[in-house]
């Protein structure tokens, strides 16, 4: 059984999400501020986090940043439509996905299932081989490790999925929609910013100069690809 942490300072929202998740057989741990969430993570084996951004004591952005410093479990942001900048910031500090309030229960459950599936398998793409290399980057799909010059690089499940897709298909251009549908395993809608943020995060971790990347290239108006020997 998966343990899902739900954190929001609005109890009604937490209660509603808890009902939806329990109906699908998930175990739910509830928290009502960022500090409460960090304490819950320390005392429970959490498999996925759903967290609001605007909270007392410790806001969602700060909480996500602290969580990402130690753990790679999937994080889904809950946000109001007006919090667009905060959503982007949340993705930049390590969140995997977001859902906007008011949310649809079916969409919420679909995103939970997709992120859990990706977390447990770190990509369900058929394996043709275990190790892929481009320049200084090595991805070992058996151990689920990514190395840069023999140093392990910590990636979120989504970052790993994007890198795996690109590195397995070197020089092939993938649009933002194609990347989202392949990695997130759900239909793409208005996802350019999501993919752009994840690509930026990958570059910051893997490129010498993220502004002039050697490996993860943008193809204007078309998408992204990996190049190199």
Mean pLDDT of the 193-218 span: 95
117 and 188 belong to one structural domain: no
12 and 81 belong to one structural domain: yes
156 and 218 belong to one structural domain: yes
List CB contacts of 186: < 8 A, sequence separation 6 or more.
110, 111, 114, 180
pLDDT > 70: what percent of the chain?
94
Number of domains in the chain: 2
By residue range, what is the domain housing residue 69?
3-121
CATH of the domain at 192: 1.10.10.10
53 and 114 belong to one structural domain: yes
159 domain-assigned: yes
Lowest-pLDDT range of 62-71, 85-94, 193-202: 85-94
Predicted pLDDT at 228: 83
Q: How far apart are CA 200 and CA 187, in angstroms?
A: 22
pTM > 0.85: no
Domain boundary among 103, 121, 139: 121
Report yes or no: 61 and 54 within 8 Å, Cβ to Cβ: no
126 domain-assigned: no
146 and 191 belong to one structural domain: yes
Mean pLDDT of the chain: 89
One-character DSSP codes across 135-194: TTEEEETTTTEEEETTEEE---HHHHHHHHHHHHTTT--B-HHHHHHHHT-S--SS-HHH
Q: Are strands 3-7 and 48-52 parallel, antiparallel or unpaired?
A: parallel
The pLDDT tens digits of the residues spanning 160-202 come to 999 999 999 989 999 999 999 999 988 888 899 999 999 999 9
The pLDDT tens digits of the residues spanning 50-66 come to 999 888 889 999 999 99
150 and 108 belong to one structural domain: no
Nearest to 76 by CA among 57, 55, 62, 60: 60
């Amino acid at each position: 059984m998966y343990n899902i942490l739900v954190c929001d300072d609005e109890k009604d929202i937490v209660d509603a999400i808890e009902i939806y998740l329990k109906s699908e057989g998930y175990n739910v741990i509830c928290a009502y501020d960022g500090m409460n969430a960090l304490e819950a993570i320390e005392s429970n084996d959490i498999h996925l986090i759903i967290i609001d951004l605007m909270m007392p004591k410790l806001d969602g952005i700060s909480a996500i940043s602290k969580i990402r410093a130690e753990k790679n479990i999937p994080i889904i942001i809950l946000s109001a439509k007006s919090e667009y900048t905060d959503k982007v910031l949340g993705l930049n500090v390590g969140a995997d996905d977001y859902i906007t309030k008011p949310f649809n229960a079916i969409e919420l459950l679909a995103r939970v299932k997709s992120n859990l599936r990706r977390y447990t398998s770190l990509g369900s793409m058929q394996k043709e081989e275990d190790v892929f290399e481009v320049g200084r980057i090595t991805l070992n799909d058996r151990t689920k490790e990514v190395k840069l010059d023999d140093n392990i690089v910590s990636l979120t499940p989504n970052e790993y999925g994007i890198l795996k897709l690109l590195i397995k298909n070197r020089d092939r251009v993938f649009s933002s929609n194609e990347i989202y549908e392949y990695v997130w395993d759900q239909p793409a809608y208005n996802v350019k910013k999501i993919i752009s943020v994840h690509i930026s995060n990958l570059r910051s971790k893997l490129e010498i100069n993220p502004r002039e990347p050697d490996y993860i290239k943008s193809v204007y108006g078309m998408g992204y690809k990996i190049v190199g020997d």
